[in-house]
Structure formats: structure tokens, C-alpha cells
Amino acid sequence: MNRPADRLAIAAAQLNPIVGDIAGNAEKLRRARSKAAADGADLVVVPELFIAGYPPEDLVLKPAFQAACRGMVEQLARETADGGPAALVGTPWVEGGRLYNAVCLLDGGRIAAVRLKVDLPNYGVFDEKRVFVPGPMPGPVNFRGVRLGVPICEDVWGEAVVECLAETGAELLVVPNGSPYSSNKEDVRLNITVGRVVESGLPMVYVNQIGGQDELIFDGGSFGLHDDCSLAFQLPRFCETVTTVIWERCNDTWRCVGGPLDAYLEGERANYAACVLGLRDYVEKNGFPGVVLGLSGGIDSALCAAMAVDALGAKRVRCVMLPYRFTSAESQSDAATLATRLGVQYDIVPIAPAVEGLEAAIAPLVAGLPRDVTEENLQARARGTILMAVSNKFGLMVVTTGNKSEMSVGYATLYGDMNGGFNPIKDLYKTEVYRLARLRNAWKPDGALGPDGWVIPENIITRAPTAELREDQTDQDTLPPYDVLDAVLERLVEREEPIAAIVAEGFDRDTVVRVERMLNLAEYKRRQAAPGVKVTLKHFGRDRRYPITNRFRDAGIPLAAPAEDLASGAGIGTAARSEALDF
């Protein structure tokens, strides 16, 4: 299908690959190419490393995997002899014994060109220098009379690669991306790409991946820019699409003709959609038939239940209320109402026999000692064990429901409420959990499978949060108010601000020092937490990697327990319990 050099139809294939599913990813490309052909496209563009899935991490170091990707690309290249659209396909590429992050142009039954990623990101969630070597500075690819510049993702975040392409005659930039989601990332991408367009004078087609991969979410939102930085087209976020856009030569540049301008989800709506997509893809891509979670009558489990139903549908979500003598009638009523509104299977399993059996078992070991957090934790651990039993028996994945505020300060029980396979709200602070619960009662994302309208009872949103592990307990007995706690944590975790700077903003010094201490002490718990969706700039696990054994304190106070405590057998665990945080 030969077009004159003054017109080019490009299909932006915003697709959701699965890491390691080479055959499945190739089939997605075939379907996208068929749609592109029906739409009259000359070229279909898929995201970065599409054949392997992104990010492949150390999987890409396996020679068998490298060979399988290469073989599939060669097969796909042969298929383009049918006269249909060419394909610009991301893949690992071994050349001269070196492994590259590459893009191959497949056209006319052959691999017509290969371009190698130059700028390998090695910060935050990225560690590409661990597995790839950088390619040389590229020139443009000649495609059917048009000189295409093909920088790969990070190559447009700096100036050098695009500058080289402009100087060597590129007319249009086509950028395959694997750019993961975080709050307000769309603004960052747009600012970066506008800078490259201004510097080079070249229009741009930016094609981004969609879908969840472990803790990362890719939000799509592919777009195009004219050489004057005006928006040429914009595709939706959080959904797959193959959209063909027509570019025409006009006064020595290229302009997009009638490209779609889909509205973007932004802010908290985007965060909610990201959590739903991340949970759905983790369950689907790992082959679970559904999920189970404990409903406490509290806000965290309520939001997780709503997200699970939106992600999977009510028939694939099972909720279990696990009451003990401290569980209020109010909590039980709220949980039942939530389950009814969501339409999920709902079971009630009293845990008194399990807790009392455990207490009886340890009684000889703790005779004469006062009751404390030890007995409280038996409740959480009994609940965790029962949920894991349901998981084992029915093959359901346990959804764990702790928020970022709790995981920051260790307000969670190892082998109890921390049990689970995935946590959709892991990167949401408590204050945002409340905001998203209110949001969900008024709105749900396109494609969500849950019911419309008010699903989370108002009482769950308005009542004081409590773990209900003892009489009349509330979270604020132990923690600062969540609006204060979250503000301090955001400065400590996301911004890495010194304590002195936080205090200078007006926060109480004792509170900041205490929160910073709890944050450090809880590292050993976070290291054992389930994976979960990344929403913020600093996600526990993917971004923020701190040592467990660590005596540094910003305030100049040693992290280690006092010598007399160490002599009596105290340590990190006892220090955490002294803050009453081992729940």
C-alpha cells in the first residue's frame, strides 16, 4: 500500500502486553495490524519492548528469551510481505554480543531497519543499565519517502538524541514508550515532549503502553504534537485502543488531519482508575479466578472491595467478615450493607475459637505477664490465617488492604492483616483513601464492572477509624491525626525533606521526630508486604529502597535502642512495640 510522500497514516496501537508472553504479544500486534489495515494505515506503532513486555527486568538476560523474541520479530517481519501496514516494534536485540533495547521497522517481508535506545534510565523504578547497553546516536529511518526519527521513550527526556535526529534530516518523530503512571505524570510528559518539539522544530507521535505489570501501571494517553506544539491528537488513558491518525505534509512540516482529542482522566479519578487497572491485570495476568478479602467495616477494606468489584465483577469477589468480641455491631452492620450494595458473596466467620485456642496454646509461655499487643495481634493473625485458608481452598487471591500511612509507620501486623497477594491501595495515604471513597460513591471509571452510585455506606466514611483490637480503640490513640500524619509522611517519603525543614513549615517538632522514627523502624515490615499499585512518586518497594539495619537519624538521635534495652533482649521489634504500632 504505497502512499505519496506527502501523506502518512500512522496507527497508534496503545496496547497491554504481558511480560514474557511473546506469542500472546505477537498476536496482539497481528490484531492491531489488521485493524490498522482496515483503517488504511501505512504504519502501526506499538509501545517500547512490546514483544518482550515492559519492563522485562532480569528475564531479558536469559539467552533463550532473547532468542525467542528475535525469532518472533523475524516471523512478524515475514508477515508484512502481505502488502499491509508496516510495523514499528519494540524488542530486545542482541548484536555483537551486546544486549540492546531496540525498535525494528518491519516492512515488505523483512526487518527494514533497527534503531537502538541510547539513553537508558537508571532512577526511580528504572534500572535499564542493569540489563541493556546504550546504542549509538541514531539517524532517521527512511520509510516510504518519509524520514522518521525514532527515539525510544527516555531518549526524548534529554536533548541529545532528538537534536541528533533533527540534524540528520528527520521530518517526524515517532516515539514508542513504556512510561509508567504516577499522579500528574501526564503534565510531566507533555512538558518534556513540548521541549523537544520546540528545540527540534519537529512534530511528534508519542505512543504509550497501557496496563498493569506487577506494581507498575501504564496509563496510555498517547498523543501527537505539531511543530508549533499544538495538540495533534490525544488518546484516552487506562484503556487499549488502535487509532489511525492521518499526517499530511504542509509547508515543509507535517500536520495531523482531524485527530481525536479524547478527554483525559486526571487527579483522583486517574488514581482510582490506576488502582482498578492494576488489580485487574495482576489477577488476570497471573491466572487467579477471583479474590477474597476481609471486610472489617472500615474505610480501607471498603474501598478495596469496591475496587475489586469494579476490576473483576461481583461474581469474582468474595468478602468475609471475621468478628471478635471487640468488633462493634456498627462495623458488622456497615460491612453487611457494603457487601449487599456491591453484590458480592459475603460470609461471616467468628474468630473467637481460633483466638482463644491460640491464647490457650501460648498460656504456659506467658504465664504471669500482663496482656498487651501480643494478644491483640493474635486476632489479626487468626483473621489472616482464615483468609489464607479460603485462598488455598478456592484458589482465590487474598487482597490485602493496608494504606500507605499505616505501612509507613508500621501500623499493621505481620502474618495478619498484611497477609495477601496484592494491595490496590498500597500507595494511597489514608486521607486519599477517604477522598477516593467519596469519589467512588459519585462516579466510576469507564469499563468498571461494579454498580453505579452510592456503594460505600456514609457511616464507614465518617466514623473514627479503628482497628478494634481492644475496647474503645481508635487509630488516633496511637497516631497523630491523619491529616497531620500524611502531610509529614509526604514530606519525609516523597520529598525526602530534612526534619528541620518540615518543622520550619510549622509542624510540631516532637511529632515530626516521632513519625520519622516510626518510618525507619517499620522498614522490616514493608520489606515483607504484598506488592501493590504505584501511584505516588515514591512507592515503597519500586522507588524507595532503604536498608532494614540502619542507625542513621536525621535528628541526630540514634535509631538503635538504648544499651540497657539491648542488654535485656530488646531490638527493632521491641522498639516498634514501644510505639504500640505492631498491630
405 class by beta-carbon count within 10 Å (0-12 exposed, 13-18 middle, 19+ buried): buried
Residue 583 lies in a domain: no
The grid cell for 514 is: 516521632
What is the rounded distance in angstroms from the CA atom of residue 434 to the CA atom of residue 9? 45
Whether 227 and 332 share a structural domain: no
Whether 280 and 258 share a structural domain: no
In 430-582, alpha helices (H): 430-442, 458-462, 482-489, 499-504, 509-521, 523-526, 563-567, 572-578
Residue 60 lies in a domain: yes
Residue 531 lies in a domain: yes
Residue 1 lies in a domain: no
The grid cell for 100 is: 540492546
Please provide the size of the chain in residues. 583
Question: What are the Cα distances from residue 528, in Å, to 26, 413, 423?
Answer: 35, 11, 13
DSSP conformation letters of 172-215: EEEEEE--B--TTHHHHHHHHHHHHHHHH---EEEEE-EEEETT
Whether 135 and 258 share a structural domain: yes
Residue 326 lies in a domain: yes
Please check whether residue 84 is in contact with residue 1, taking contact to mean a CB–CB distance below 8 angstroms: yes
Count of structural domains, the chain: 2
Q: What is the pTM of this model?
A: 0.91
Active site residue ranges: 48, 117, 153
What is the rounded distance in angstroms from the CA atom of residue 195 to the CA atom of residue 185? 16
Q: Where are the beta strands (DSSP E) in 62-201?
A: 86-95, 98-107, 110-116, 141-143, 146-149, 172-177
Count the neighbouring beta carbons within 10 Å of the beta carbon of residue 401. 31
Least confident segment among 209-218, 475-484, 505-514, 570-579: 570-579
Give the pLDDT confidence of 19-64 residue by residue, as tens digits: 999 999 999 999 999 999 999 999 999 999 999 999 999 999 999 9
DSSP conformation letters of 418-437: T-SSBBTTTT--HHHHHHHH
Provide the pLDDT confidence category of residue 250 given band limits of 50, 70 and 90.
confident
Q: End of a domain among 246, 264, 282?
A: 264
Q: Which range marks the domain in which residue 353 is found? A: 269-578
Give the pLDDT confidence of 532-578 residue by residue, as tens digits: 999 988 888 877 888 787 878 776 454 443 332 322 222 333 333 33
82 class by beta-carbon count within 10 Å (0-12 exposed, 13-18 middle, 19+ buried): exposed
Whether 436 and 552 share a structural domain: yes
Whether 327 and 461 share a structural domain: yes
Query: Residue 382: pLDDT above 80?
Result: yes
Tell me the percentage of the chain whose pLDDT exceeds 70. Answer: 92
Beta strands at 43-45 and 86-95: parallel, antiparallel or unpaired = parallel
What is the rounded distance in angstroms from the CA atom of residue 22 to the CA atom of residue 71? 10
What is the rounded distance in angstroms from the CA atom of residue 540 to the CA atom of residue 517? 17
Query: Residue 4: pLDDT above 80?
Result: no
Arithmetic mean of pLDDT over the chain = 90
Beta strands at 241-250 and 7-14: parallel, antiparallel or unpaired = antiparallel
Residue 112 lies in a domain: yes
Please check whether residue 433 is in contact with residue 403, taking contact to mean a CB–CB distance below 8 angstroms: yes
Looking at the DSSP bridge assignments, the partners of residue 2 are: none
Query: How large is the average pLDDT for residues 480-485?
Result: 91
Cell 475459637 -> residue = 353
Q: End of a domain among 264, 289, 318?
A: 264
Whether 427 and 523 share a structural domain: yes
Per-residue b/e over 313-329, b at no fewer than 16 CB within 10 Å? bbebbbbbbbbbebbee
Q: End of a domain among 264, 284, 317?
A: 264
Whether 372 and 230 share a structural domain: no
- CATH assignment of the domain containing 64: 3.60.110.10
Whether 63 and 172 share a structural domain: yes
Give the pLDDT confidence of 389-429 residue by residue, as tens digits: 999 999 999 999 999 999 999 989 999 989 999 999 999 99
- CATH assignment of the domain containing 393: 3.40.50.620
Whether 250 and 273 share a structural domain: no
Whether 255 and 277 share a structural domain: no
Whether 308 and 436 share a structural domain: yes
Whether 220 and 114 share a structural domain: yes
* Residue 250, helix vs strand vs coil: strand
Residue 1: the pLDDT is 43
Query: Residue 312: pLDDT above 70?
Result: yes
